[in-house]
Each structure stands twice: as C-alpha cells, then as structure tokens.
Amino acid sequence: MQITVQLPDDLAQHPNPGRDALEALAIEGYRSEALSHFEASQLLGLSRFEFDGFLKERHIYDHAYSVEDLEKDREAFRRLEAESQPAPTPSDSERRNAAVDAILQFAEKHGCTTGGHDLKSMVHEGHKY
C-alpha cells in the first residue's frame, strides 16, 4: 500500500524527508504499541537485529529487554530443564531387591529349593554359592 503525506515545509527541507517521516512513524508506532517490533522493523525494511540497532542508536529503550525479563526467562528455563530431566535411576539396593524378588518368584514358580536357606537373606548378606 502506498500512503501520501503532506509534510510541513521545515521537514521537507531535510535531506531525506520521506525516510525521516517513515522512521518517526515507526518509532511512535512501536512506542505506543500500535506496531509490534516485527511490524515496525518491516515498515523500515530492517531485520530484527537491525531494528534493535536503529532503536539503540536513537537512545530508544521502550520495551527493551529488562533485568525482570531476564529473571523471568531464567526461571522459565530452570522449570523447563527440571521438567525434562530423566527419571531417577534406581539405587543399587532397589535393583538388588528387584532381582531378589524376581529370583524368588522364579524359584517358587518352578519348585526350586535352597536347602532350607532363606534366599533373600543369602543375597542381602552377599553369600556366593
């Protein structure tokens, strides 16, 4: 879309009055939140990073990334990192107990005996047969 604007004579005397007016429109639109960062950068034909530089050169820090934004992002990162942690691995004693239970179930199912010894105690005490 093309828009025609009547510029005051003093602004028309600038070296590039059309660009100056466009930049003023983009800045004010961004400051008032009528334009998003993306929309204002597109209006000026700049990339996201070029638009950030454009604002910084003009000492415009409206909507700049703040310490509070950083803290919110850090907290979100920690939360996401915690959610994505793998489930804890079982301890050695938990694995040993699971193995003993499996052996006892097998022995019971197949009628195996241990000569009167308590298999669970033997495993826990570290007997080797």
What is the pLDDT, as a whole number, of residue 41?
94
Provide the pLDDT confidence category of residue 6 given band limits of 50, 70 and 90: confident
State the pTM of this model. Answer: 0.49
* Residue 54 and residue 33 in contact, taking contact as beta carbons nearer than 8 Å: no
- Lowest-confidence region among 12-16, 32-36, 55-59: 12-16
pLDDT at 12: 79
Q: Using one digit for the tens of pLDDT, what is the confidence trace for 98-112?
A: 877 887 777 777 776
> 28 φ, ψ to 5°?
-65, -40
Give the C-alpha distances (Å, rounded to integers) separating 1 from 4, 43, 60, 114: 10, 11, 27, 90
Integer Cα distance of 48 and 17 in angstroms: 24
Q: Does 68 score more than 90 pLDDT?
A: no
Rounded to whole angstroms, the Cα distance separating 93 from 101 reads: 12
Query: Residues of the chain with pLDDT > 70: what percent?
Result: 84
